[in-house]
Amino acid sequence: MKQHREERIALATRIYELDGEVYRCLGSNLGRVFTGKRDATIEELARLMCSSEKSHYLRSELALISNMARTIQDKPTRARLMREYDSILQEVESLPTSFGRVDILDEQMASLNAASLSDRFGKGDHLVICIGRTYGSAGTDIGFALADALHINYYDTEIFTEVLERLEAEQDHVTDFVSFSHEKNPNVTGDIHDRKMTLKQRIREFSRYHGLSKRDAIFFNESDLLCEKARTEDFIIMGRCGDRILSHNGIPHLSVFITAPFEKRVQRIMATDDLTEKQARKLLKTLDRRHGSYYNFYTGRRWGDPNSYDLCINSASYGIEGSVELIKRMVDRQSYKKPASNK
């Protein structure tokens, strides 16, 4: 214990002296971080190192010192002091009670989607990226550009169409709530079960789809098709609750949600869809409500909730190209390698 105290005192002394040297290099324009008496300040710094609950105070004070050190004009002096700062920071971070020692990892959530991204995909697993997005955030453009950059397949309405063919259903009689292709249909509301049917129609659907509504039958068939594809190829899937479907079936994937401030989305669809501001606002509110209702109903999760995704992007901050590059960097962290059979 005595040895540990001596080590903390020595480290606290280095912090105190670094603060003083940075102050001397800058002159009196910027004050010192530690203004108390030397011995009392060093004792207090050492005490902060003993408590994980108070370690954030030490982190804030170190940050102030580094911020000021970076403003030193003389490059050799600045480099020397920043090296000392980096050395001190490494020692502080190695302390058992240091900040960052309490991880935010949820073991249950990480059981499939491991926090260590390099372990996400095993040998033979395919790269599947599930992208949820709000309309007007350029999410579809980002997804398409990302698929092109990664040289993998891109699915959106194709999944829906293929399922309809399996069910021998007519697309005109089924609204694709997950796609944006019918966004201007004034007859579609935000309720996924709003279509009124006669008793005869309900009985016919009950019989044809084994007790399921047509919409439920489509969802479960989409789920089966999505899992089949995930086991055989690399691809990007837009929406369709893909993230929750694959998680439920134990299939590794990356989940991304793309959105942007409401006003930026309004401006964008006014330009892309040739809408008035009033029309754009109404459309976005309708689509947000509709897609949220669909996702929440079939997944039990809240659409757009950051807790449900690996990465959430404000596309207004990065743009289309920047967002693509951000996701690509995330993919690169996987150390992902395609299965040998996938060319």
Say yes or no: 180 and 318 in one domain: yes
Say yes or no: 277 and 134 in one domain: yes
Say yes or no: 268 and 147 in one domain: yes
Say yes or no: 72 and 205 in one domain: no
Give residue 206's domain range. 107-332
Residue that finishes a domain, picked among 37, 67, 93 = 93
Backbone φ, ψ for residue 312 (5° rounding)? -115, 135
**Which pTM was predicted?**
0.63
Number of domains in the chain: 2
Say yes or no: 113 and 142 in one domain: yes
Say yes or no: 29 and 156 in one domain: no
Does 36 reside within a domain?
A: yes
Does 99 reside within a domain?
A: no
Residue keyed to tokens 């700062």: 85
Does 100 reside within a domain?
A: no
Using alpha carbons, select from 333, 318, 153, 323 the residue that is nearest to residue 238.
Answer: 153
Say yes or no: 323 and 250 in one domain: yes
Residue that finishes a domain, picked among 43, 65, 93 = 93
Give pLDDT, residue 117. Answer: 59
Q: Cα separation of 239 and 334, whole Å?
A: 22
Say yes or no: 88 and 135 in one domain: no
Residue 327 CB partners (closer than 8 Å, separation 6+): 129, 142, 146, 254, 256, 311, 313
> How distant, in Å, are the alpha carbons of 153, 160, 166, 167, 227 from that of 170?
25, 11, 11, 9, 23
Residue 22 CB partners (closer than 8 Å, separation 6+): 65, 68, 69, 72, 81
Say yes or no: 86 and 143 in one domain: no
Does 146 reside within a domain?
A: yes
Backbone φ, ψ for residue 235 (5° rounding)? -170, 170
How do residues 303-342 score in pLDDT, each as one tens digit? 999 988 989 999 998 899 899 999 998 887 655 555 544 4
Say yes or no: 182 and 314 in one domain: yes
How do residues 3-29 score in pLDDT, each as one tens digit? 678 888 999 999 999 999 998 888 755
Q: How far is CA 207 from the centre of its chain?
A: 41
Radius of gyration of the chain (CA): 28
For β-strands 311-314 and 153-155, DSSP reports them as: unpaired
Give pLDDT, residue 174. Answer: 46
Say yes or no: 111 and 63 in one domain: no
Does 341 reside within a domain?
A: no
Does 313 reside within a domain?
A: yes
Q: Is the model's pLDDT at 148 over the cut of 90?
A: no
pLDDT band at 184 (very low <50, low <70, confident <90, very high): very low
pLDDT band at 129 (very low <50, low <70, confident <90, very high): very high
- The per-residue pLDDT of the chain, averaged, comes to 77
Residue 163 CB partners (closer than 8 Å, separation 6+): 218, 221, 222, 225
Is the separation of the CB atoms in 223 and 163 below 8 Å?
no
Does 343 reside within a domain?
A: no
Residue that finishes a domain, picked among 61, 93, 125 = 93
Per DSSP (E only), the strands in the chain are: 128-133, 153-155, 235-238, 254-259, 311-314
Q: Cα separation of 94 and 107, whole Å?
A: 23
Does 325 reside within a domain?
A: yes
- Domain containing residue 223: CATH number: 3.40.50.300
How do residues 256-265 score in pLDDT, each as one tens digit? 999 999 999 9
Say yes or no: 177 and 118 in one domain: yes
How do residues 267-283 score in pLDDT, each as one tens digit? 999 988 889 999 999 99
Is the separation of the CB atoms in 232 and 287 below 8 Å?
no
Give pLDDT, residue 141. Answer: 86
